[in-house]
Amino acid sequence: MELLLTNASFGGEHRRYRHTAATLECQMEFSIFLPPQSLAEPGRKVPVLYWLSGLTCNDENFMQKAGAQKLAAELGLAIVCPDTSPRGVNLPGEDDSYDFGSGAGFYVNATEQPWAPHYRMYDYVVKELPQLVESELPVSAEKSISGHSMGGHGALICALKNPGLYRSVSAFAPVAHPVECPWGQKAFAGYLGGNQEQWNQWDATLLIADAQERLPLLIDQGTADQFLAEQLNPQALVRACHSVNHPVTLRMQSGYDHSYFFIASFIDDHLHHHAEALGLAQPQL
């Protein structure tokens, strides 16, 4: 890994790295916040929250806007933020629109050409990146996952498709039923082709019924979110959960939109949710 920058933050460090991703056949960048506990005690490894960002974002948005580092430092929780797609692989059309191609990998494994060799963000997030981080940095294999919008979709499917891998899962304004929304339909048609049976394997609402693990889902959704009606459909996910008694908490937050102002307002609740599942001591209020 090549260290690109480091910033002191609440007694810990924010770092940004570049590495060659075999899964994606390109150079990738990711950010990590290491809490002070992982730096002060040689040999100590801390658990990790993986954060998956939304359309048009990269690894820097959450670190700069969410305001998560203070509480993460108190909890002893590392946070890893991958990018949202491969970059610079020079595929035709990859930069033509905000909701497909660059910045819009949708956390699936593409099967259609020319996307299949590179757009395998699911395998990168679930397998390659954690293996790299755990081998090179002072973090353990204990992990949780969260995300926003397209990344909320990614967090949900990663947890649902990998029982036992994550201790907890949460999401902000996730694309909860992508096979039934324009963002999801565009991405799935492009990356996965016309067979909608393949699409269903990447839709959290459709995965709930056969989930082999019933991790509680914590979801925050703003009522003033401009994408709520057309793209997000959290109620479909809640109905699917209720039909099979899958634990879910959907909190409709009055007046909040789709922005990082919304995420920053409730990120502490999500960090506490993950810290409890990871067995971390909670700060005294």
Distance CA 186, CA 194 (A): 11
Q: Count Cα neighbours of 192 within 13 Å in the Cβ-side half-sphere.
A: 23
Distance between CA atoms of residues 62 and 7, nearest Å: 15
Tell me if residue 149 is catalytic. Answer: yes
Q: Residue 56 to residues 24, 65, 84, 105, 200: CA-CA distances in angstroms?
A: 18, 15, 8, 10, 24
Q: Which of 225, 246, 270, 273 is catalytic?
A: 225
The one catalytic residue in 118, 246, 258, 273 is 258
The burial of 197, by beta-carbon neighbours within 10 Å (0-12 exposed, 13-18 middle, 19 or more buried), is given as exposed
Torsion of CA 11, 16, 17, 23, to 10 degrees: 110
DSSP string, 57-99: --THHHHHHS--HHHHHHHT-EEEEE-SS--S---TTTTSBTT
Tell me which of 149, 153, 168, 203 is the catalytic residue.
149
Active site annotation includes 258: yes
Residue type, 172: F
- Number of Cβ atoms within 10 Å of the Cβ of 129: 21
Bridge partners (DSSP) of residue 6 are 15
Residue 102 is among the residues annotated as catalytic for this protein: no
8 DSSP β-pair partners: 13
For 140-179, letters b (16+ CB in 10 Å) and e give eebbbbbbbbbbbbbbbbbbbbeeebbbbbbbbbbbbbbe
Count CA within 13 A, CB hemisphere, residue 75: 26
Residues that are catalytic: 149, 225, 258
